[in-house]
Structure 1
């Protein structure tokens, strides 16, 4: 019985000794990889910064798009409401509403807006806005375009034409 137990313990001892020796050998060769973390940091930092700036640019673009769309819709609402009552004055009033929206929501976000009042048909009016947006990447030129149109509101008396 003692012989069997001694043989089993000897096998375990050899396996443990082998693993300890392998760990010691790995510890001595690990000194060669001491600069690897710094190299990985240097290589991955620009990728991380690019991803952060791309996320910021994505947010700027979509917020500017929403501001331009809101301004176009507000201008078109004003144009639809006043085009029948004031045939020539609706353009100026709609433009004032668009400018007011852009000033309130994003004056530094919607840069040099080009606002056009459109009347594709006799009873339809609308607003088109094209504007540049600020970018975080040098040399990148992004623009947003928003358009809103609708029929002119006409109030008729009941039973009338």
Structure 2
């Protein structure tokens, strides 16, 4: 009879080890029911926060790329039109706005293109904000691009 109980205990220990229970430090069986629900309650908000923050910064980088592309396009357009027409500023702004609308205008809200002319260089500055996914994170983008104004220089002129 003793051998039978010893074999049963050995078999139970072997099966517990297979299921991941080494039996070290335990007397009898404890009840772990409900632990996964408690872990789920504590970890789920953390996982959602990480996901939302990741999406927020992905939107920021995409909006930054939109602002850079719009600033480059506006600066090129302004540099081409500055010697041709007096409305070069409005044409440069409309080119920047067109780029913003085409590439994803909803990701760059309140976009303001501002062209300036300094020493035969057209500079376009595009500013805007990223719509918030996480309420306490407010991100703004700013891109600056410059383009030289093409002009004719005769031979021998300085």
TM-score, normalisation: structure 2? 0.78
Which whole-Å CA distance do the structure 1 matches of 2:135 and 2:50 have between them? 15
Mark the runs of 5 or more structure 1 residues left unpaired by the alignment. 1-9
Judged with a 3 Å threshold, the aligned counterparts in structure 2 of structure 1 residues 27 and 66 are, in CA distance, closer, same or farther, namely farther
Mark the runs of 5 or more structure 2 residues left unpaired by the alignment. none
Residue in structure 2 matched with residue 154 of structure 1 by the alignment: 151
Report the Cα offset of residue 51 of structure 1.
1.3
Aligned pair count reads: 144
Which whole-Å CA distance do the structure 1 matches of 2:42 and 2:28 have between them? 26
Which whole-Å CA distance do the structure 2 matches of 1:51 and 1:57 have between them? 10
Moved over 4 A (4+): 16-28
Which whole-Å CA distance do the structure 2 matches of 1:27 and 1:37 have between them? 22
Q: CA RMSD in A?
A: 2.6
Residue in structure 2 matched with residue 82 of structure 1 by the alignment: 81
Residue in structure 2 matched with residue 97 of structure 1 by the alignment: 95
Aligned partner of residue 135 in structure 2, secondary structure: coil
Which whole-Å CA distance do the structure 2 matches of 1:19 and 1:135 have between them? 60
Name the structure where helix makes up a greater proportion of residues. 1
Report the Cα offset of residue 156 of structure 1.
4.4
Aligned partner of residue 33 in structure 1, secondary structure: coil
TM-score, normalisation: structure 1? 0.77
Judged with a 3 Å threshold, the aligned counterparts in structure 2 of structure 1 residues 58 and 132 are, in CA distance, closer, same or farther, namely same
Which whole-Å CA distance do the structure 2 matches of 1:127 and 1:137 have between them? 30
Report the Cα offset of residue 45 of structure 1.
0.7
Report the Cα offset of residue 155 of structure 1.
3.5
Which whole-Å CA distance do the structure 2 matches of 1:97 and 1:66 have between them? 16
